[in-house]
């Protein structure tokens, strides 16, 4: 890891190359193809032509929540509270379903103006004026624990966010969120609230593309990883070993694990990929007696890079299935801080659908790990052929 210099994983990204808005039709985006050592391109609409009947597409079905709330102090000072992840109740489902006070780990904008006291936001529900309040509690790393309460107990916290929050579009778009982002910064198949950034590889899929995939006999399954704001966290310094990776929560059913055992796994996005590879490492921890029941299923940032017995993907997946069978919920609930950098050996994923990522980012390092040195050719081709980059940009299908 010490030999990885971030300067080697950079490219010149001009502002004009960043897609500030989505195309009118999702599946009309360009699709770069890196298949069998050759690079070409087509429209995303035609992606089914490059997939085979033995493929299993794995989607991340997490839904982006309206995580940014602009609130006011009594003095009139504006404070932005950006909800990152639940603190109490700690699981997303119970927290969103709460009718009373909840606590969240949050980033706070204009923090210097909020030394103490409550901040609030007024909103209207069923024609009646209501309020949500926030109280800042203790520091939590580079964020804060914030308690929210509201004066309409017919509303869950999920309802409150929907009524008061804003869609957290990426900061590099350099624009405020707009009404179109409510729909377009969301996949059409999302179903589980929790992300504060979109799993953007899925933004290109439409009902007609999904029908084409089904017609060809290609299998589909889903995992749920709630994307955190850490996906945009810049890597500071030149050595990746100094970077602290964000932790994200994910959920997987035994049916999805059985599906990924049955063919060539094509990951729709880097979030699905990190989930799939994390499942493997949870299986390794179970088999190697490194599993700690006190903290539950968890993959640390550097876990895969230490000495390990060589365990097949089938063995690891079967170990995870056995663990799930012992759970009353029969769902794997886990956390991952896994970082994937050049030198990583992929155990589950054989193909990747992904957008184009920022220079010197952990996502670009992941792409370089997956595509090898060809990542440079891929990005050179995209830049020379006027591809639109980043979250609202074009897509790629990479099968090394």
List, in order of start, the domains of the chain with CATH numbers: 6-64+182-399 (3.40.1780.10), 68-166 (no CATH)
- The 3-state DSSP class for residue 197 equals coil
Q: pLDDT tens across 289-346, in order?
A: 888 888 899 999 999 998 888 999 999 999 999 999 999 999 999 999 999 999 999 9
Q: What is the pTM of this model?
A: 0.95
270-287 vs 313-325: helix axis angle to the nearest 10? 80
Given this model, what pLDDT does residue 101 score? 97
Mean pLDDT of 247-264: 96
Assess whether pLDDT exceeds 90 at residue 230: no
Under 8 Å between Cβ of 23 and 29: yes
Q: pLDDT tens across 212-229, in order?
A: 999 999 999 999 999 998
Which H or E run includes 313?
A: helix 313-325
Give the sheet arrangement for strand 351-355, strand by strand.
38-43, 30-35, 395-399, 351-355, 264-268, 55-60, 219-225, 248-252, 332-336, 298-299
Given this model, what pLDDT does residue 241 score? 85
Q: What angle do CA 19, 25, 27 make, to 5 degrees?
A: 90
């Amino acid at each position: 890891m010490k030999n990885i210099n971030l300067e080697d994983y950079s490219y010149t990204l001009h502002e004009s190359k960043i897609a500030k808005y989505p195309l009118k039709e999702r599946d009309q985006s360009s699709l770069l193809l890196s298949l069998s050592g050759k690079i070409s391109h087509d429209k995303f609409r035609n992606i089914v032509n490059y997939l085979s009947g033995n493929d299993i597409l794995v989607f991340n079905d997490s839904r982006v929540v309206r995580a940014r709330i602009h609130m006011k102090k009594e003095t009139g000072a504006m404070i932005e509270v950006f909800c990152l992840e639940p603190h109490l109740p700690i699981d997303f489902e119970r927290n969103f379903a709460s009718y009373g006070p909840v606590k969240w780990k949050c980033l706070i904008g204009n923090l210097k103006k909020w030394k103490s006291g409550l901040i609030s936001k007024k909103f209207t529900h069923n024609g009646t004026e209501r309020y949500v309040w926030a109280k800042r509690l203790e520091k939590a790393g580079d964020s804060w624990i914030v308690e929210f309460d509201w004066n309409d107990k017919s509303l869950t916290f999920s309802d409150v966010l929907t009524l008061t929050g804003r869609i957290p579009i990426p900061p590099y778009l350099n624009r405020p969120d707009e009404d179109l982002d409510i729909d377009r910064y969301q996949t059409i198949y999302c179903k589980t609230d929790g992300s504060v950034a979109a799993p953007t590889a899925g933004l290109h899929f439409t009902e007609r593309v999904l029908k084409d995939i089904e017609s060809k006999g290609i299998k589909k399954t889903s995992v749920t990883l709630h994307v955190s704001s850490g996906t945009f966290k810049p890597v500071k310094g030149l050595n990746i070993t100094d970077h602290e990776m964000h932790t994200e929560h994910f959920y997987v059913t035994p049916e999805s694990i059985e599906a990924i055992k049955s063919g060539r796994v094509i990951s729709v996005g880097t979030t699905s990929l990190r989930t799939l590879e994390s499942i493997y490492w949870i299986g390794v921890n179970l088999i190697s007696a490194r599993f700690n029941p006190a903290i539950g299923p968890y993959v640390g940032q550097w876990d895969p890079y230490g000495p390990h017995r060589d365990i097949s993907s089938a063995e690891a997946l079967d170990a995870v299935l056995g663990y799930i069978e012992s759970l009353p919920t029969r769902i794997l609930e886990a956390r991952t801080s896994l970082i994937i950098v050049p030198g990583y050996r992929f155990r589950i994923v054989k193909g990747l659908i992904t957008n184009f990522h920022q220079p010197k980012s952990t996502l670009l390092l992941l792409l370089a790990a997956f595509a090898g040195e060809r990542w440079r050719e891929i990005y050179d081709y995209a830049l020379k052929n006027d591809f639109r980059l980043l979250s609202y940009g074009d897509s790629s299908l990479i099968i090394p």
